[in-house]
Chains A and B, each alone.
Chain A
Amino acid sequence: MSGIDANDVVLGEVGIEADSALRAVLETRADVLAMTQATHDAALRPADPGGLTHGERAALAARIARLNREEGLAAHYETMLREASPAPETARLADPAFKGAAGTRLAALASYTDLASLSPKDAGAEDIQSLKDAGIDDADIVRLAELNAFLAFQIRLVAGLRLMKGRGR
């Protein structure tokens, strides 16, 4: 019985060949891969997005992928971003060079995301306060943190599996 899903974002990004040794190992953790995909769906396209829209989530995910030089994943999130029909300003979040105007909601989303992606060790109470000051409520701060945290996981899983795949050649 094959447990792993052909539409899985992580597996699609790594490129898992049929009958490969890596595929056989991944089958033993099919439950983990399925739950990873389920969390992707919950973090990117929740039924109740609260104050963090599907467009903002996809744009931030593309931004995080780019900050980690994962262009393949960035393209995946760009597709989700287009499907969300975002406001033009929201779509700009996908570009790490876009920082937003000081004091705005978009600037706060971008700033937290850059910090959490690249240097979470430097995050402090003031960084959460900056989100609150920009009008982002506590529940949306948690949603933003979960999105960033999930992406960190997914990106490392892809990076690790790619190294495993290289080893198997």
Chain B
Amino acid sequence: MNEPIHEFTTEVPHWRPRVKPIDLAHASAEQFDALKVTPSNTKVSDYVLVLANDVETLKVRTPLFNAIMYNRGGLSRAERELGAVAASIVNRCIYCAAVHSSRYNQLAKDETVMERIFADGVAARLDPRQSAILTFAAKLSQAPSRADESDMAALVEAGLDPSEVLDLILSAALFGWANRLMHTLGDPLPRDKEEA
């Protein structure tokens, strides 16, 4: 049987929705527009087809997501991924953690950071800058937020400038959002078994 994965991994799982994805054959013009589906490009993930049930939110959420993770300047791409992983660890979103830890590894060309985080969680021993980022993002991800003045001071002492701090807040907060969709609306399954 395809049992959901409960342990953190850098191998991106398959995602099985708990609610019905929309049927592209019956999609509205607004849904097609939000999905950016064209006759030549009809490959859309189940996750996005699930979110298309709320098309008005999806339409604005996709460009917002891309801006926070990929826009120019500010915090490095890899460190934004670290913020995303910190949130995903706190919220135990196995799928999000897999996608964004593997992106971190590609960008940073260093697998030891994620190995330590997966082994020891938010208490992982990292270099001072990584540690300040992980701690701040993880505490901001608690509900209510537990990030405080000392966590902010640690970011500044570790050398983050205000534009980098802002991007870290945005990436960690964005995964408070993404985790609550991915982790509540579906299950992460082993990919090979699913495809077998």
Q: Chain A: residues with CB nearer than 8 A to chain B? A: 21-22, 25-26, 28-29, 31-32, 35-36, 38-39, 42-43, 46-48, 50, 67-70, 112, 116-121, 123, 125, 127-129, 138-139, 141-143, 145-146, 148-150, 152-157, 159-161, 163-164, 166-167
30 A-B pairs, CB-CB below 8 angstroms? A25-B162, A29-B170, A31-B71, A35-B63, A39-B60, A69-B144, A120-B91, A120-B93, A120-B183, A121-B90, A123-B183, A129-B18, A138-B53, A141-B19, A143-B57, A145-B184, A145-B185, A146-B51, A146-B54, A150-B57, A152-B180, A160-B165, A160-B166, A160-B169, A163-B151, A163-B152, A164-B162, A164-B165, A164-B169, A167-B156
- Cβ distance A73 to chain B, nearest Cβ, rounded Å: 12
* 8 Å CB contact of B73 from A28, A68, A117, A150: A28
Task: List residues of B (175-189) whose CB comes within 8 Å of A's CBs.
Answer: 176-181, 183-185, 187
Point out the residues of chain A lying under 8 angstroms from B93, CB to CB: 120-121
Q: Are A68 and B144 in contact (CB under 8 A)?
A: yes
The total of interchain contacts (Cβ-Cβ below 8 angstroms) comes to 171
> What is the chain B residue whose CB lies nearest that of A22?
B162
The answer for the CA separation of A69 and B142 in the assembled complex, in Å, is 12
- Cβ distance A81 to chain B, nearest Cβ, rounded Å: 19
> What is the chain A residue whose CB lies nearest that of B163?
A25
Point out the residues of chain B lying under 8 angstroms from A129, CB to CB: 18
The answer for the CA separation of A166 and B153 in the assembled complex, in Å, is 10
The answer for the CA separation of A32 and B16 in the assembled complex, in Å, is 30
12 more CB-based (< 8 A) A-B contacts, given A38-B64, A42-B59: A32-B64, A32-B68, A39-B60, A42-B60, A50-B54, A141-B185, A146-B51, A153-B174, A153-B177, A156-B173, A160-B172, A163-B149
- Cβ distance A113 to chain B, nearest Cβ, rounded Å: 11
> What is the chain A residue whose CB lies nearest that of B55?
A48
Q: Are B170 and A32 in contact (CB under 8 A)?
A: yes
Q: Produce 1/0 per residue, B147-164, CB < 8 A to A.
A: 111011100100000110
Interface check B77, CB cutoff 8 A? no
The answer for the CA separation of A127 and B185 in the assembled complex, in Å, is 10
Using A35-B60, A142-B54, A156-B172 as known contacts, say yes or no to A120 and B180 having CB atoms under 8 A apart: yes
Point out the residues of chain B lying under 8 angstroms from A139, CB to CB: 53-54
Q: Chain B: residues with CB nearer than 8 A to chain A? A: 18-20, 50-51, 53-54, 56-61, 63-64, 67-68, 71, 73-74, 90-93, 140-141, 143-145, 147-149, 151-153, 156, 162-163, 165-167, 169-170, 172-174, 176-181, 183-185, 187
The answer for the CA separation of A150 and B143 in the assembled complex, in Å, is 14
Q: Are A157 and B56 in contact (CB under 8 A)?
A: no
Q: Are A32 and B67 in contact (CB under 8 A)?
A: yes
Q: Are A156 and B91 in contact (CB under 8 A)?
A: no
> What is the chain B residue whose CB lies nearest that of A142?
B53
Using A128-B185, A142-B51, A142-B185 as known contacts, say yes or no to A157 and B170 having CB atoms under 8 A apart: yes
- Cβ distance A74 to chain B, nearest Cβ, rounded Å: 12
> What is the chain A residue whose CB lies nearest that of B148?
A163
Q: Are A152 and B176 in contact (CB under 8 A)?
A: yes
> What is the chain A residue whose CB lies nearest that of B87?
A156
- Cβ distance B20 to chain A, nearest Cβ, rounded Å: 4
Using A25-B162, A120-B179 as known contacts, say yes or no to A157 and B185 having CB atoms under 8 A apart: no
Using A35-B64, A128-B184 as known contacts, say yes or no to A156 and B152 having CB atoms under 8 A apart: no
